[in-house]
Amino acid sequence: MDKKRIIFHIDANSAYLSWEAVYRLQHGEAVDLREIPSVVGGNQATRHGIVLAKSIPSKKYGVKTGEPLIQARRKCPNLVVVPPRYELYMQCSSAMIDVLKDYSDKIQLFSIDECFLDFTGMDALLGDPLEVAHGIKERIKRELGFTINIGISSNKLLAKMAGELKKPDMVHTLYPEEMPSKMWVLPVEELYMVGRATAPKLNQMGIYTIGDLAKTNIDLLKYKFKSWGLMLYAYAHGIEDTPVNNDGAVPYIKGIGNSCTIHFDVEDRETAHKVLLSLVETVAMRLRHGGFCCRLVQVSIRTSELASYGHQRKFHVATDCTNEIYAEACRLFDRAWRGEPIRHLGVRVSELCGNDFIQLSMLEESWEKQRLVDRAVDKIRLKHGSYSIFRAGFLHSRLAPMQGGVVEDFPVMTSIL
DNA sequence: TCTGGGGTCCTAGGACCC
DNA sequence: TCTGGGGTCCTAGGACCC
Protein backbone atom coordinates (compact mmCIF):
# COMPACT_ATOMS: atom_id res chain seq x y z
CA MET A 1 0.00 0.00 0.00
CA ASP A 2 1.28 3.40 -0.84
CA LYS A 3 0.97 6.13 1.70
CA LYS A 4 -1.80 8.66 1.65
CA ARG A 5 -1.28 11.30 -0.97
CA ILE A 6 -1.54 15.04 -0.44
CA ILE A 7 -2.68 16.87 -3.56
CA PHE A 8 -3.08 20.62 -4.06
CA HIS A 9 -5.25 22.19 -6.72
CA ILE A 10 -4.21 25.76 -7.48
CA ASP A 11 -6.48 28.08 -9.40
CA ALA A 12 -6.01 31.78 -10.19
CA ASN A 13 -9.22 33.66 -9.30
CA SER A 14 -10.94 35.18 -12.38
CA ALA A 15 -7.60 34.66 -14.07
CA TYR A 16 -7.79 36.81 -17.21
CA LEU A 17 -9.54 39.61 -15.41
CA SER A 18 -7.20 39.61 -12.39
CA TRP A 19 -4.13 39.53 -14.57
CA GLU A 20 -5.47 42.32 -16.71
CA ALA A 21 -6.24 44.35 -13.58
CA VAL A 22 -2.76 43.87 -12.15
CA TYR A 23 -1.12 44.85 -15.42
CA ARG A 24 -3.20 47.99 -15.68
CA LEU A 25 -2.51 49.03 -12.09
CA GLN A 26 1.20 48.54 -12.70
CA HIS A 27 0.93 50.74 -15.76
CA GLY A 28 -0.60 53.65 -13.97
CA GLU A 29 -4.30 53.00 -14.26
CA ALA A 30 -6.23 54.24 -11.23
CA VAL A 31 -9.16 51.82 -11.19
CA ASP A 32 -8.82 48.20 -10.23
CA LEU A 33 -10.95 46.21 -12.68
CA ARG A 34 -11.55 43.65 -9.94
CA GLU A 35 -13.46 46.19 -7.89
CA ILE A 36 -15.92 47.33 -10.55
CA PRO A 37 -18.36 45.47 -12.81
CA SER A 38 -16.00 44.50 -15.62
CA VAL A 39 -15.18 41.70 -18.02
CA VAL A 40 -12.49 40.64 -20.44
CA GLY A 41 -14.36 40.17 -23.68
CA GLY A 42 -13.80 39.42 -27.35
CA ASN A 43 -14.39 41.75 -30.26
CA GLN A 44 -18.05 42.03 -31.26
CA ALA A 45 -17.24 43.54 -34.64
CA THR A 46 -15.45 40.34 -35.66
CA ARG A 47 -18.18 38.21 -34.05
CA HIS A 48 -16.02 37.13 -31.14
CA GLY A 49 -18.18 38.98 -28.67
CA ILE A 50 -18.39 36.79 -25.60
CA VAL A 51 -17.39 37.15 -21.96
CA LEU A 52 -14.01 35.49 -21.39
CA ALA A 53 -13.66 36.42 -17.71
CA LYS A 54 -15.66 38.49 -15.26
CA SER A 55 -15.03 40.43 -12.08
CA ILE A 56 -16.83 39.58 -8.86
CA PRO A 57 -18.90 42.79 -8.92
CA SER A 58 -20.13 41.94 -12.43
CA LYS A 59 -21.08 38.49 -11.21
CA LYS A 60 -23.60 40.16 -8.90
CA TYR A 61 -25.45 41.37 -12.00
CA GLY A 62 -25.71 37.81 -13.26
CA VAL A 63 -23.00 38.16 -15.89
CA LYS A 64 -21.74 34.73 -16.91
CA THR A 65 -18.55 33.52 -18.55
CA GLY A 66 -19.20 32.53 -22.15
CA GLU A 67 -22.31 34.60 -22.66
CA PRO A 68 -22.63 37.16 -25.47
CA LEU A 69 -21.37 40.61 -24.51
CA ILE A 70 -24.58 42.23 -25.66
CA GLN A 71 -26.50 40.09 -23.19
CA ALA A 72 -24.03 40.91 -20.42
CA ARG A 73 -24.44 44.63 -21.16
CA ARG A 74 -28.19 44.26 -20.95
CA LYS A 75 -27.82 42.85 -17.44
CA CYS A 76 -25.28 45.47 -16.44
CA PRO A 77 -25.41 48.68 -18.52
CA ASN A 78 -22.28 50.23 -17.00
CA LEU A 79 -20.18 47.12 -17.58
CA VAL A 80 -16.55 47.88 -18.45
CA VAL A 81 -15.31 45.63 -21.24
CA VAL A 82 -11.59 45.24 -21.98
CA PRO A 83 -10.03 43.20 -24.80
CA PRO A 84 -7.92 40.11 -24.03
CA ARG A 85 -4.10 40.05 -24.10
CA TYR A 86 -3.18 36.40 -24.33
CA GLU A 87 0.60 36.88 -24.27
CA LEU A 88 0.27 38.66 -20.94
CA TYR A 89 -1.86 35.84 -19.52
CA MET A 90 0.71 33.25 -20.54
CA GLN A 91 3.41 35.23 -18.78
CA CYS A 92 1.31 35.49 -15.63
CA SER A 93 0.61 31.78 -15.75
CA SER A 94 4.30 30.94 -16.10
CA ALA A 95 5.16 33.26 -13.23
CA MET A 96 2.64 31.43 -11.03
CA ILE A 97 4.03 28.02 -12.00
CA ASP A 98 7.58 29.20 -11.28
CA VAL A 99 6.59 30.07 -7.72
CA LEU A 100 4.85 26.72 -7.27
CA LYS A 101 7.97 24.84 -8.33
CA ASP A 102 9.51 25.83 -4.99
CA TYR A 103 7.03 23.55 -3.25
CA SER A 104 7.12 20.39 -5.38
CA ASP A 105 8.54 19.26 -8.68
CA LYS A 106 5.42 17.26 -9.42
CA ILE A 107 3.14 19.80 -11.06
CA GLN A 108 0.52 19.04 -13.67
CA LEU A 109 -0.58 21.99 -15.76
CA PHE A 110 -4.30 21.68 -16.26
CA SER A 111 -5.08 24.89 -18.07
CA ILE A 112 -3.67 28.39 -18.29
CA ASP A 113 -4.89 29.23 -14.79
CA GLU A 114 -5.07 25.86 -13.03
CA CYS A 115 -2.70 23.15 -11.97
CA PHE A 116 -2.28 20.23 -9.60
CA LEU A 117 0.69 19.92 -7.27
CA ASP A 118 1.65 16.67 -5.57
CA PHE A 119 2.65 17.59 -2.02
CA THR A 120 3.00 13.98 -0.85
CA GLY A 121 6.10 13.64 1.30
CA MET A 122 6.85 17.34 1.11
CA ASP A 123 5.24 17.99 4.49
CA ALA A 124 8.26 16.39 6.16
CA LEU A 125 10.38 19.06 4.51
CA LEU A 126 8.14 22.09 4.36
CA GLY A 127 5.58 21.55 7.11
CA ASP A 128 1.84 21.22 7.47
CA PRO A 129 0.04 21.27 4.09
CA LEU A 130 -2.59 23.75 5.20
CA GLU A 131 0.01 26.20 6.47
CA VAL A 132 2.15 25.78 3.37
CA ALA A 133 -0.90 26.42 1.17
CA HIS A 134 -1.63 29.65 3.01
CA GLY A 135 2.01 30.58 2.58
CA ILE A 136 1.84 29.98 -1.17
CA LYS A 137 -1.36 31.97 -1.48
CA GLU A 138 0.08 34.96 0.39
CA ARG A 139 3.34 34.79 -1.49
CA ILE A 140 1.65 34.89 -4.88
CA LYS A 141 -0.52 37.77 -3.75
CA ARG A 142 2.55 39.64 -2.51
CA GLU A 143 4.91 38.89 -5.38
CA LEU A 144 2.55 38.69 -8.34
CA GLY A 145 -0.38 40.80 -7.20
CA PHE A 146 -3.28 38.39 -7.74
CA THR A 147 -5.21 35.98 -5.57
CA ILE A 148 -5.57 32.24 -5.90
CA ASN A 149 -7.61 29.45 -4.42
CA ILE A 150 -5.96 26.29 -3.17
CA GLY A 151 -7.84 23.05 -2.60
CA ILE A 152 -6.22 20.27 -0.61
CA SER A 153 -7.15 16.60 -0.50
CA SER A 154 -5.89 13.10 -1.11
CA ASN A 155 -6.67 13.02 -4.83
CA LYS A 156 -7.02 15.39 -7.75
CA LEU A 157 -10.81 15.27 -7.96
CA LEU A 158 -11.37 16.22 -4.32
CA ALA A 159 -8.59 18.80 -4.43
CA LYS A 160 -10.31 20.42 -7.40
CA MET A 161 -13.70 20.31 -5.73
CA ALA A 162 -12.10 21.85 -2.63
CA GLY A 163 -10.60 24.66 -4.68
CA GLU A 164 -14.04 25.53 -6.03
CA LEU A 165 -15.72 25.76 -2.62
CA LYS A 166 -15.55 29.44 -1.85
CA LYS A 167 -13.70 32.11 -3.77
CA PRO A 168 -11.61 34.19 -3.92
CA ASP A 169 -8.36 34.10 -1.98
CA MET A 170 -9.14 30.95 0.02
CA VAL A 171 -7.59 27.66 1.06
CA HIS A 172 -9.93 24.73 1.62
CA THR A 173 -9.45 21.10 2.48
CA LEU A 174 -11.83 18.40 1.31
CA TYR A 175 -10.61 15.11 2.69
CA PRO A 176 -12.86 12.06 2.20
CA GLU A 177 -14.23 12.31 5.74
CA GLU A 178 -15.33 15.88 4.99
CA MET A 179 -17.39 14.92 1.94
CA PRO A 180 -20.77 14.66 3.71
CA SER A 181 -20.59 18.16 5.16
CA LYS A 182 -18.73 19.97 2.39
CA MET A 183 -19.47 18.22 -0.89
CA TRP A 184 -22.65 16.19 -0.65
CA VAL A 185 -24.69 19.26 0.23
CA LEU A 186 -23.78 20.96 -3.06
CA PRO A 187 -26.10 21.00 -6.11
CA VAL A 188 -25.26 18.09 -8.36
CA GLU A 189 -24.21 20.36 -11.22
CA GLU A 190 -21.26 21.50 -9.12
CA LEU A 191 -19.71 18.06 -9.45
CA TYR A 192 -16.85 17.90 -11.89
CA MET A 193 -18.15 16.34 -15.15
CA VAL A 194 -21.81 17.11 -14.53
CA GLY A 195 -22.56 19.63 -17.24
CA ARG A 196 -25.62 21.21 -18.76
CA ALA A 197 -26.74 18.00 -20.48
CA THR A 198 -26.32 15.65 -17.53
CA ALA A 199 -27.65 17.89 -14.75
CA PRO A 200 -31.25 18.06 -16.06
CA LYS A 201 -31.28 14.30 -16.59
CA LEU A 202 -30.17 13.75 -13.00
CA ASN A 203 -32.73 16.25 -11.73
CA GLN A 204 -35.40 14.37 -13.58
CA MET A 205 -34.41 11.28 -11.62
CA GLY A 206 -34.87 13.22 -8.38
CA ILE A 207 -31.12 13.76 -7.93
CA TYR A 208 -30.49 17.34 -6.93
CA THR A 209 -27.38 17.25 -4.75
CA ILE A 210 -24.07 15.44 -5.00
CA GLY A 211 -25.21 13.54 -1.91
CA ASP A 212 -28.33 12.38 -3.76
CA LEU A 213 -26.08 11.11 -6.53
CA ALA A 214 -23.83 9.31 -4.06
CA LYS A 215 -26.88 7.53 -2.62
CA THR A 216 -28.26 6.52 -6.02
CA ASN A 217 -28.16 2.86 -6.97
CA ILE A 218 -25.07 2.25 -9.07
CA ASP A 219 -26.86 -0.19 -11.37
CA LEU A 220 -29.48 2.41 -12.15
CA LEU A 221 -26.77 4.92 -13.05
CA LYS A 222 -25.03 2.35 -15.19
CA TYR A 223 -28.28 1.51 -16.94
CA LYS A 224 -29.07 5.16 -17.65
CA PHE A 225 -25.62 6.57 -18.43
CA LYS A 226 -23.41 3.55 -19.26
CA SER A 227 -19.74 4.13 -18.36
CA TRP A 228 -20.51 7.80 -17.74
CA GLY A 229 -22.82 6.74 -14.91
CA LEU A 230 -20.10 4.68 -13.24
CA MET A 231 -17.74 7.61 -13.38
CA LEU A 232 -20.36 9.96 -11.91
CA TYR A 233 -20.99 7.53 -9.06
CA ALA A 234 -17.28 7.25 -8.32
CA TYR A 235 -16.84 11.03 -8.42
CA ALA A 236 -19.80 11.58 -6.09
CA HIS A 237 -17.98 9.32 -3.63
CA GLY A 238 -14.70 11.16 -4.15
CA ILE A 239 -13.09 8.15 -5.81
CA GLU A 240 -10.36 9.05 -8.30
CA ASP A 241 -6.74 7.96 -8.29
CA THR A 242 -4.90 9.24 -11.35
CA PRO A 243 -1.40 10.53 -10.65
CA VAL A 244 -0.28 14.14 -10.89
CA ASN A 245 1.17 13.84 -14.34
CA ASN A 246 4.28 15.88 -14.93
CA ASP A 247 5.92 13.68 -17.55
CA GLY A 248 8.01 16.18 -19.37
CA ALA A 249 7.25 19.83 -19.75
CA VAL A 250 5.12 19.21 -22.81
CA PRO A 251 1.93 17.37 -22.05
CA TYR A 252 1.02 14.37 -24.11
CA ILE A 253 -0.92 15.66 -27.10
CA LYS A 254 -3.64 13.69 -28.85
CA GLY A 255 -4.52 16.11 -31.59
CA ILE A 256 -4.04 19.61 -32.92
CA GLY A 257 -6.90 21.77 -34.05
CA ASN A 258 -7.59 25.27 -35.24
CA SER A 259 -10.92 26.89 -35.85
CA CYS A 260 -12.30 30.35 -36.27
CA THR A 261 -15.46 32.33 -36.47
CA ILE A 262 -15.17 34.30 -39.70
CA HIS A 263 -16.13 37.96 -39.45
CA PHE A 264 -18.62 37.51 -42.29
CA ASP A 265 -20.77 34.60 -43.41
CA VAL A 266 -19.06 32.47 -46.02
CA GLU A 267 -21.43 31.52 -48.81
CA ASP A 268 -19.19 30.06 -51.49
CA ARG A 269 -16.90 27.08 -51.76
CA GLU A 270 -13.83 29.01 -52.88
CA THR A 271 -13.86 31.30 -49.88
CA ALA A 272 -14.44 28.36 -47.57
CA HIS A 273 -11.43 26.60 -49.08
CA LYS A 274 -9.36 29.69 -48.50
CA VAL A 275 -10.36 29.75 -44.84
CA LEU A 276 -9.50 26.06 -44.59
CA LEU A 277 -6.08 26.77 -46.04
CA SER A 278 -5.41 29.48 -43.47
CA LEU A 279 -6.42 27.05 -40.74
CA VAL A 280 -4.38 24.18 -42.16
CA GLU A 281 -1.29 26.38 -42.50
CA THR A 282 -1.28 26.88 -38.74
CA VAL A 283 -2.27 23.36 -37.82
CA ALA A 284 0.34 21.77 -40.07
CA MET A 285 3.06 24.07 -38.84
CA ARG A 286 2.26 23.22 -35.24
CA LEU A 287 2.18 19.56 -36.21
CA ARG A 288 5.67 19.72 -37.72
CA HIS A 289 6.92 21.88 -34.88
CA GLY A 290 5.87 19.16 -32.44
CA GLY A 291 7.60 16.51 -34.54
CA PHE A 292 4.36 14.74 -35.45
CA CYS A 293 2.53 13.29 -38.41
CA CYS A 294 -1.21 12.72 -38.35
CA ARG A 295 -3.45 9.96 -39.66
CA LEU A 296 -6.84 11.58 -39.17
CA VAL A 297 -8.19 14.87 -40.48
CA GLN A 298 -11.49 16.37 -39.32
CA VAL A 299 -13.32 19.37 -40.72
CA SER A 300 -16.12 21.04 -38.79
CA ILE A 301 -18.67 23.56 -39.96
CA ARG A 302 -20.89 25.86 -37.91
CA THR A 303 -23.68 27.52 -39.83
CA SER A 304 -25.00 31.03 -39.37
CA GLU A 305 -27.86 29.36 -37.47
CA LEU A 306 -25.23 27.90 -35.12
CA ALA A 307 -25.86 24.31 -36.10
CA SER A 308 -22.67 22.29 -36.39
CA TYR A 309 -21.58 19.18 -38.18
CA GLY A 310 -18.45 17.77 -39.72
CA HIS A 311 -16.63 15.10 -41.61
CA GLN A 312 -13.47 13.17 -40.99
CA ARG A 313 -11.26 10.80 -42.89
CA LYS A 314 -8.21 8.68 -42.31
CA PHE A 315 -5.03 8.74 -44.34
CA HIS A 316 -3.57 5.40 -45.22
CA VAL A 317 -0.17 6.88 -44.54
CA ALA A 318 0.47 9.46 -41.84
CA THR A 319 1.47 12.90 -43.05
CA ASP A 320 2.66 16.32 -41.92
CA CYS A 321 2.38 17.98 -45.32
CA THR A 322 0.38 21.22 -45.52
CA ASN A 323 -0.85 20.64 -49.05
CA GLU A 324 -1.85 17.06 -48.42
CA ILE A 325 -3.83 17.96 -45.31
CA TYR A 326 -5.33 20.93 -47.12
CA ALA A 327 -6.41 18.81 -50.09
CA GLU A 328 -8.13 16.35 -47.77
CA ALA A 329 -9.74 19.15 -45.77
CA CYS A 330 -11.24 20.53 -48.99
CA ARG A 331 -12.58 17.13 -50.03
CA LEU A 332 -14.11 16.67 -46.58
CA PHE A 333 -15.64 20.12 -46.70
CA ASP A 334 -17.13 19.55 -50.15
CA ARG A 335 -18.71 16.31 -49.02
CA ALA A 336 -20.03 17.74 -45.78
CA TRP A 337 -21.26 21.20 -46.67
CA ARG A 338 -25.03 21.46 -47.05
CA GLY A 339 -24.86 24.86 -48.68
CA GLU A 340 -25.96 27.13 -45.82
CA PRO A 341 -24.09 30.32 -44.88
CA ILE A 342 -21.05 29.40 -42.77
CA ARG A 343 -20.13 31.21 -39.59
CA HIS A 344 -17.30 29.08 -38.33
CA LEU A 345 -14.85 26.54 -39.78
CA GLY A 346 -12.47 24.19 -38.02
CA VAL A 347 -9.72 21.77 -38.93
CA ARG A 348 -8.28 19.23 -36.55
CA VAL A 349 -5.68 16.52 -37.00
CA SER A 350 -5.25 13.57 -34.67
CA GLU A 351 -3.96 10.01 -34.41
CA LEU A 352 -0.52 11.46 -34.17
CA CYS A 353 2.76 9.63 -34.54
CA GLY A 354 6.39 10.69 -34.79
CA ASN A 355 7.63 12.18 -38.05
CA ASP A 356 11.20 10.95 -37.90
CA PHE A 357 10.33 8.14 -40.24
CA ILE A 358 7.75 8.58 -42.94
CA GLN A 359 6.51 5.49 -44.65
CA LEU A 360 6.55 6.04 -48.38
CA SER A 361 3.47 4.79 -50.08
CA MET A 362 3.77 3.34 -53.54
CA LEU A 363 0.10 3.93 -54.13
CA GLU A 364 -0.17 7.55 -53.23
CA GLU A 365 1.41 10.57 -54.70
CA SER A 366 4.75 11.29 -53.20
CA TRP A 367 4.76 14.42 -51.11
CA GLU A 368 8.48 14.43 -50.47
CA LYS A 369 9.16 17.64 -52.39
CA GLN A 370 6.23 19.29 -50.64
CA ARG A 371 7.65 18.33 -47.28
CA LEU A 372 10.90 20.10 -48.12
CA VAL A 373 8.97 23.20 -49.13
CA ASP A 374 6.95 23.06 -45.88
CA ARG A 375 10.10 22.96 -43.83
CA ALA A 376 11.64 25.87 -45.69
CA VAL A 377 8.48 27.94 -45.22
CA ASP A 378 8.35 27.06 -41.51
CA LYS A 379 11.88 28.36 -41.09
CA ILE A 380 11.12 31.65 -42.79
CA ARG A 381 7.95 32.14 -40.76
CA LEU A 382 9.68 31.36 -37.48
CA LYS A 383 12.40 33.84 -38.29
CA HIS A 384 10.47 36.63 -39.95
CA GLY A 385 6.91 36.16 -38.73
CA SER A 386 3.76 34.43 -39.93
CA TYR A 387 3.00 36.90 -42.65
CA SER A 388 6.49 37.09 -44.12
CA ILE A 389 5.51 34.48 -46.66
CA PHE A 390 2.01 33.46 -47.71
CA ARG A 391 -0.03 32.16 -50.58
CA ALA A 392 -0.91 34.60 -53.32
CA GLY A 393 -4.57 33.66 -52.95
CA PHE A 394 -4.77 35.73 -49.78
CA LEU A 395 -3.72 38.93 -51.50
CA HIS A 396 -6.71 41.27 -51.75
CA SER A 397 -8.86 38.83 -49.79
CA ARG A 398 -10.70 39.62 -46.59
CA LEU A 399 -8.92 36.74 -44.89
CA ALA A 400 -5.72 36.39 -42.93
CA PRO A 401 -3.28 33.92 -44.53
CA MET A 402 -2.80 32.09 -41.26
CA GLN A 403 -5.54 31.67 -38.68
CA GLY A 404 -5.13 31.28 -34.96
CA GLY A 405 -1.59 30.25 -34.43
CA VAL A 406 -0.68 30.75 -30.85
CA VAL A 407 3.00 30.21 -31.51
CA GLU A 408 3.81 29.24 -27.97
CA ASP A 409 2.17 25.89 -27.41
CA PHE A 410 0.36 26.26 -24.18
CA PRO A 411 -0.64 23.23 -22.08
CA VAL A 412 -3.66 21.47 -23.37
CA MET A 413 -6.80 22.22 -21.52
CA THR A 414 -8.46 18.93 -21.08
CA SER A 415 -11.46 17.59 -19.32
CA ILE A 416 -9.47 14.58 -18.21
CA LEU A 417 -7.91 14.57 -14.79
C1' DT B 1 -23.97 41.88 -36.78
C1' DC B 2 -25.98 38.03 -30.08
C1' DT B 3 -23.45 33.04 -28.77
C1' DG B 4 -14.93 31.84 -28.95
C1' DG B 5 -11.45 28.49 -29.25
C1' DG B 6 -8.83 24.52 -27.89
C1' DG B 7 -8.92 20.16 -26.01
C1' DT B 8 -10.45 14.67 -24.60
C1' DC B 9 -13.36 10.68 -24.48
C1' DC B 10 -17.51 7.80 -25.46
C1' DT B 11 -21.17 5.66 -28.23
C1' DA B 12 -23.84 4.20 -32.11
C1' DG B 13 -24.30 2.34 -36.51
C1' DG B 14 -22.60 0.45 -40.78
C1' DA B 15 -19.14 -2.25 -43.38
C1' DC B 16 -16.53 -6.15 -43.56
C1' DC B 17 -14.39 -10.48 -42.16
C1' DC B 18 -14.49 -15.05 -40.09
C1' DT C 1 -30.34 -22.99 -48.41
C1' DC C 2 -31.00 -20.13 -44.52
C1' DT C 3 -29.31 -17.88 -40.66
C1' DG C 4 -26.38 -16.39 -36.37
C1' DG C 5 -22.92 -14.04 -33.97
C1' DG C 6 -18.51 -11.85 -32.71
C1' DG C 7 -14.70 -8.78 -33.58
C1' DT C 8 -12.64 -4.72 -35.68
C1' DC C 9 -12.38 -0.62 -38.32
C1' DC C 10 -14.41 3.63 -39.82
C1' DT C 11 -17.33 7.71 -39.43
C1' DA C 12 -20.62 10.94 -37.24
C1' DG C 13 -22.13 13.14 -33.35
C1' DG C 14 -22.49 14.32 -28.51
C1' DA C 15 -20.81 15.10 -23.80
C1' DC C 16 -17.57 17.40 -20.82
C1' DC C 17 -13.59 20.63 -19.38
C1' DC C 18 -11.28 25.56 -19.07
pLDDT tens column, A169-205: 999 999 999 999 999 999 999 999 999 999 999 999 9
Residue A408's pLDDT is: 39
Q: Is the CB of A346 under 7 A from strand B?
A: yes
Q: Is the CB of A393 under 7 A from strand C?
A: no
The reply to whether A1-175 and A184-236 are identical in fold is no
CA-derived radius of gyration, chain A: 24
DSSP 8-state class, residue A299: E
Going along A42-147, which residue ranges are E strands?
A: 51-54, 80-82, 107-111, 114-118
Per the CB < 8 A criterion, the answer to whether A84 and A39 are in contact is: no
Between the two ends of chain A, the Cα-to-Cα distance in Å is: 22
Residues A86-130 have pLDDT tens digits of 999 999 999 999 999 999 999 999 999 999 999 999 999 999 999
**Gap from A48 CA to B4 C1', in Å?**
6
Residues A41-75 have pLDDT tens digits of 999 999 999 999 999 999 999 999 999 999 999 99
Per the CB < 8 A criterion, the answer to whether A210 and A184 are in contact is: yes
All structural domains of chain A with their residue ranges: 1-175, 184-236, 253-411
Pick the CATH number of A184-236 from 3.40.800.20, 1.10.150.20, 3.90.78.10, 3.40.50.980: 1.10.150.20
Fold of A253-411: Dna Ligase; domain 1 (3.30.1490)
**Gap from A117 CA to C4 C1', in Å?**
54
Helix (H) / strand (E) containing A312 = strand A308-319
Chain B nucleotides close to protein (CB under 7 A) are 1-12
Architecture of domain A1-175: 2-Layer Sandwich (3.30)
Query: Would residue A114 show up in a list of annotated catalytic residues for this protein?
Result: yes
Q: Which residues of chain A (196-215) touch nucleic strand C at CB < 7 A? A: 196-199
Residue A412's pLDDT is: 44
Chain C nucleotides close to protein (CB under 7 A) are 10-18
How many CB atoms are located within 10 Å of the residue A287 CB? Answer: 25
Residues A344-367 have pLDDT tens digits of 999 999 999 988 766 555 545 567
What is the spatial distance between Cα A35 and Cα A256, in angstroms, rounded to a whole number? 38
What is the spatial distance between Cα A225 and Cα A87, in angstroms, rounded to a whole number? 41
Q: Is the CB of A291 under 7 A from strand C?
A: no
Per the CB < 8 A criterion, the answer to whether A188 and A212 are in contact is: yes
Q: Is the CB of A197 under 7 A from strand B?
A: no
What is the spatial distance between Cα A2 and Cα A183, in angstroms, rounded to a whole number? 25
